[in-house]
Amino acid sequence: MAHGRIFNFSAGPSMMPEEVLQKAGEEMLNFGGSGMSVMEMSHRSKVYDNIIVETEAKARQVMGIPDNYKVLFMHGGATGQFAALAMNLMPRTGKADYAITGNFSKNAADEAKKYGTVNIAATSADRNFAYIPAQDALTLDKEASYFHYCMNNTIFGTKWDYVPDAGDVPVVSDVSSCILSEPVDVSKFGLLYAGAQKNMGPAGLAFVVIREDLAGGAYPYTPKILDYAVMIKNSSMYNTPPTYSIYIMGEILKWVEKMGGLTEMKRYNTEKAAHLYDFLDNSKFFASTVDREARSLMNVTFKTSSEELDAKFVKEATAAGFVNLKGHRSVGGMRASIYNAMPMEGTKELAAFMAKFEKENG
């Protein structure tokens, strides 16, 4: 790693591509000859308008977003969208389906209960969210306004390997911790949303892709800042958007494109994660905490045989330059978040460190 940087396995805010950070540093005082930082410029200025327009265009290109979908840059992260999507989409029937496969999908469902009737279409809570429910296990309501699920479960280290079929009911997904990591067929969804701070840029930005026919039916009491129709009409500029985060997101999209696009990102991420999963599958000391078929490429969760050894591992790993490996309190053990910007070198060296720790403590 260059510049004395460490391998940061944080679940978010997380590592960003070094070349993006370097470019941002070079442009910090004077962006594009404007004589000012992107942080300082008016969001209404011509120079900033070019940034946000270019970022949207690059997102559409990289993600293959169809023309009948609107792209929005909003405040409040994914948690803000838990309320926004319910207030905007729930009014159609007053009901919605939620699959609960982790902490964030549960939080989303709890928030939605304020605005209508929530049907729990499926849950994996019976085994502490170690698996993903199959399509035939979903109990769907044909009168639901939408079906919601969290595609990648950051805390528990699982990912849906299929897009649920909800019939004529629009599918909504929180893709915060897997967006830009692999190709996604946007046309299968009514709405996708993500907090930027895992794979897209700095914290503070919520990225929303919504099929245009789903906007415009919000509850009358919906705050304008959370009303999709208002945000669409104002091109995400009803008030000052998270300007700097949008600029960085644009640079990250260019980096993803330079890396070969989403197909190449999936290949790269699969190879990167394999260093850890292959080691875990052959270890008699460490163990994966989730079912093999539900494994996330972004968040690898594992543990030893005791909490004492887990704590010792985290402490020694931190001293060796592998930071933020402590698992979430609801799972325990360890979690290595290996988003797009984590280099191949990071998972290779972590796997080697795990082998050394096992040899010394097994």
What averages of pLDDT result for each successive group of 10 residues across the chain (362 residues)? 84 96 97 96 96 98 98 97 98 98 97 98 97 98 98 97 98 98 98 97 96 98 98 97 97 98 98 98 97 98 97 97 94 96 97 98 90
Q: What is the pLDDT of residue 1?
A: 59
Q: Is the dihedral of CA 194, 196, 199, 200 positive or negative?
A: positive
Helix spans in the chain (H): 18-26, 46-63, 77-89, 103-112, 228-233, 243-259, 261-281, 307-319, 344-361
Terminal alpha carbon distance of the chain = 29
CA angle 71-194-159, nearest 5°?
130
Q: Which two tokens stand for residue 151?
A: 């595609």
Residue type, 345: E
Q: Are 7 and 342 in contact (CB under 8 A)?
A: yes
Q: How far apart are CA 83 and CA 86, in angstroms?
A: 5
* Closest to 249 measured CA to CA, from 2, 6, 20: 20
Cis peptide before 13 (omega within 30 of 0): yes
* Closest to 97 measured CA to CA, from 69, 123, 77: 123
| 73 beta partners | 207
Task: Name every residue whose Cβ is closer than 8 Å to that of residue 195 and which is 6 or more positions away in sequence.
Answer: 12, 77, 78, 79, 176, 203, 205, 206, 207
Q: How many CB atoms lie within 10 A of CB 63?
A: 22
Q: Is the dihedral of CA 233, 239, 241, 243 positive or negative?
A: positive
Q: What is the pLDDT of residue 4?
A: 83
Q: What is the pLDDT of residue 2?
A: 58
Cα distances from 110 to residues 82, 113, 153, in angstroms, run 9, 5, 17
Q: Are 70 and 209 in contact (CB under 8 A)?
A: yes
Q: How far apart are CA 353 and CA 350, in angstroms?
A: 5
Rounded to the nearest angstrom, the gap between the alpha carbon of residue 314 and the centroid of all alpha carbons in its chain is: 24
User: What are the CB-based long-range contacts (under 8 Å, 24+) for 255-261?
Assistant: 255/17, 255/19, 255/20, 256/62, 256/180, 256/340, 257/58, 257/61, 257/62, 259/340, 261/62
Cα distances from 120 to residues 97, 101, 107, 117, 134, in angstroms, run 6, 11, 12, 10, 14
Q: What is the pLDDT of residue 207?
A: 98
Q: What is the pLDDT of residue 362?
A: 83
Pick left, alpha or beta for residue 235 (phi over 0 → left; psi -120 to 50 → alpha; otherwise beta): left
pTM above 0.95, yes or no: yes
